[in-house]
């Protein structure tokens, strides 16, 4: 760095408009002694010159090392004329070449652990750099980025002001998890404690809409992370994802990928041993131990996985494995209903909707009678199957899509009919699942309206609204089918 400055190899400038600076990269090299021991670790910052264009950015190219042939010619000339030969070493030779062209390079990104000691060391280095170069880091142009829990809580906090449905919140949480999985988990190993905190914030936000960790949740987090066919919402299981990222790293280590730190681990810990059989060194850092321990799971990786771009996803799916499928999987997959309707149906299928009888079970004082017919206790089965009010609504819709409906009086009978008629990819099955989902949502919302707002919508209007929404949301083929359906008077 010092010689870079004394040779005045660069100036720090604002790029003029329309200019695309080229990137840079650290090149690390180990200088070894005769016995193979590392003598010095060398680091050199280079510009990615290969992105330049001939005739625009440069005219001629030079080789940084002499060709062996040239040396031989020189030696033969020396021998022929009986000259004397001297050997010398120019330090940082590459800095002594002069360039006629202007080359713009991006500035540096530095990574450090988010702890005091690492930050102090980074500061120290900046100070040395300042002493050597006289250049002072411009604070207004420098920025620090943090990855981790703090970032997630601020993002969640910015959403708490919005009034969103469960489904809307699930969507936002999905985007957060996706961000972490695609960025952090591939580069860093996230400690279990951090992961637990992230999950806690995401879970609390979904169920309570707050940015504080709460206990309240209607379905366990582990269940939400299951694939849709296994009864989940297919959210990323961060812990598993992170585990896979570590396995991937371990795989790189096993295959001696050309990366500085991998070379370093081989040099210091593995040496002549094999990764699979070596004893894990006690003095190794927490992270190194974690990577080494992941060798137990290398069996999940096949060489062909590694060529694939979505390798982490593939290994992840392999580790999720074959899970028992729920009988109602067809209702949840390829459903054209609105996300908020799908979410309520998802809860309904697991009997997790907070009906009066469930609240009573928790010891909460409520009027447990069905708010629609006001006769019997409000259970899921009553609300969606037995209640005469809802029966009327369902019959109207069945009439609308021209399905002859014979009355089914138990939850199991109704459920069986739904599961049977949502199988396959036919237009009919898709229409049935969308209609059923919107129906469940409409019944639940009508029930809530009657309880919390003391207002009610007449049954005909509820049925008509379901038909209207389904008509709007249906895909083009299904829409054509629904066009022939006349809503019954």
> Interface residues with Zn ion (CB under 5 A)?
370, 372-373, 387
Nearer to Zn ion, 315 or 387 (CB): 387
Strand partners, 105: 22
Between CA 393 and CA 443 the distance in angstroms is 9
The structure tokens 């960025």 sit at: 183
Reported for 401-408, long-range contacts at CB under 8 A and 24+ positions apart, including other chains, are 401/431, 401/432, 401/435, 401/482, 401/485, 402/485
Smallest gap from residue 372 Cβ to Zn ion (A):
4
Q: What is the residue whose two structure tokens read 């510009």? A: 47
For Zn ion, the closer CB: 330 or 348:
348
Query: What is the rounded CA–CA span in Å between residue 390 and residue 145?
Result: 54
CB of 394 to Zn ion, least distance (A): 13
Cα 357 from chain centroid (whole Å) = 38
The residues pairing with 45 across neighbouring beta strands, listed in sequence order, are: 26
Report, in Å, the least distance between residue 150 CB and Zn ion.
48
CA angle 154, 159, 163 (to 5 degrees): 160
Taking the least distance from each CB to Zn ion, the nearer of 97 and 388 is 388
Residue 245 or 397 having the CB closest to Zn ion: 397
Report whether 22 contacts 106 (CB < 8 A): yes
In contact, 466 and 472? CB cutoff 8 Å = no
Question: How far apart are CB 470 and Zn ion at their closest, in Å?
Answer: 24
Residue (247 or 372) nearer to Zn ion, CB: 372
Place of tokens 């809307």: 168
Report how far residue 378's alpha carbon sits from residue 88's, in angstroms, rounded to the nearest whole number.
94
Complex with Zn ion: residue 173 or 463, whichever CB lies closer: 463
Angle between helices 339-349 and 166-179 (to 10 degrees): 100
Nearer to Zn ion, 4 or 451 (CB): 451
| Residue 112 vs 354, nearer CB to Zn ion | 354
**Minimum CB–partner distance for residue 157 and Zn ion (Å):** 41
Where in 33-114 does DSSP place strands (E)? 38-47
Question: 429 phi and psi, to 5 degrees?
Answer: -65, -35
Q: Write down the least CB distance from residue 370 to Zn ion, Å.
A: 3
**In angstroms, what is the minimal distance from the CB of 350 to Zn ion?**
21
Task: Give the DSSP letter string of 204-237.
Answer: HHHHH--SS--S--SS-HHHHTS-GGGTS-----
Cβ-based burial of 138 (10 A; exposed 0-12, middle 13-18, buried ≥19)? exposed
Minimum distance from CB of 384 to Zn ion (Å)?
A: 10
Min. distance of Cβ 382 from Zn ion in angstroms?
6
Query: Which residue, 373 or 485, is less far from Zn ion as judged by CB?
Result: 373
């Amino acid at each position: 760095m010092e010689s870079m400055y004394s040779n005045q190899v660069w100036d720090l400038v604002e790029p003029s408009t329309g200019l695309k600076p080229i990137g840079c990269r650290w090149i690390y090299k180990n200088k070894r002694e005769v016995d193979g021991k590392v003598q010095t670790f060398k680091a050199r910052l280079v510009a990615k010159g290969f992105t330049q264009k001939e005739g625009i950015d440069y005219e001629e190219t030079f080789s940084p090392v002499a060709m062996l042939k040239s040396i031989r010619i020189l030696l033969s000339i020396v021998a022929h004329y009986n000259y004397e030969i001297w050997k010398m070493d120019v330090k940082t030779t590459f800095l002594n070449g002069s360039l006629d062209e202007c080359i713009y390079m991006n500035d540096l990104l530095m990574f450090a652990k988010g702890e005091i000691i690492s930050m102090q060391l980074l500061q120290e280095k900046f100070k040395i750099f300042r002493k050597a170069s006289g250049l002072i880091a411009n604070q207004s142009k420098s920025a620090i980025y943090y990855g981790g829990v703090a970032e997630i809580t601020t993002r969640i906090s910015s959403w708490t002001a919005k009034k969103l449905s469960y489904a809307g919140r699930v969507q936002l949480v999905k985007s957060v998890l996706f961000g972490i999985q695609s960025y952090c988990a591939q580069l860093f190993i996230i400690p279990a404690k951090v992961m637990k905190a992230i999950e806690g914030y995401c879970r609390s936000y979904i169920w309570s809409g707050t940015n504080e960790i709460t206990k309240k949740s209607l379905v366990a987090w582990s269940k939400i992370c299951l694939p849709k066919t296994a009864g989940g919402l297919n959210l990323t299981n961060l812990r598993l994802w992170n585990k896979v990222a570590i396995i991937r790293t371990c795989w790189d280590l096993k295959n001696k990928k050309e990366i500085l730190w991998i070379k370093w681990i081989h040099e210091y810990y593995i040496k002549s041993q094999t990764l699979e059989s070596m004893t894990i060194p006690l003095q190794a850092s927490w992270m190194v131990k974690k990577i080494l321990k992941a060798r137990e799971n290398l069996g999940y990786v096949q060489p062909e996985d590694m060529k694939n771009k979505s390798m982490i996803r593939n290994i992840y799916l392999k580790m999720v494995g074959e899970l028992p499928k729920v009988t109602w999987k067809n209702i949840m997959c390829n459903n054209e209903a609105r996300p908020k309707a799908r979410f309520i149906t998802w809860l309904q299928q697991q009997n997790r909707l907070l009906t009066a009888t469930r609240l009573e079970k928790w010891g909460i004082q409520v009027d447990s009678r069905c708010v629609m017919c006001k006769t019997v206790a409000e259970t899921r089965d009553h609300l969606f199957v037995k209640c005469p009010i809802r029966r009327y609504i369902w019959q109207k819709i069945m009439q609308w899509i021209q399905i002859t409906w014979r009355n089914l009086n138990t939850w199991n009978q109704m459920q069986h009919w739904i599961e049977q008629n949502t199988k396959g990819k036919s237009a009919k099955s898709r229409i049935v699942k969308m209609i059923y989902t919107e129906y469940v949502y409409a019944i639940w919302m009508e029930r809530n309206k009657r309880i919390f707002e003391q207002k009610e919508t007449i049954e005909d209007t509820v049925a008509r609204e379901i038909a209207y929404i389904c008509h709007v949301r249906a895909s083009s083929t299904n829409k054509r089918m629904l066009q022939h359906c006349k809503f019954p008077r």
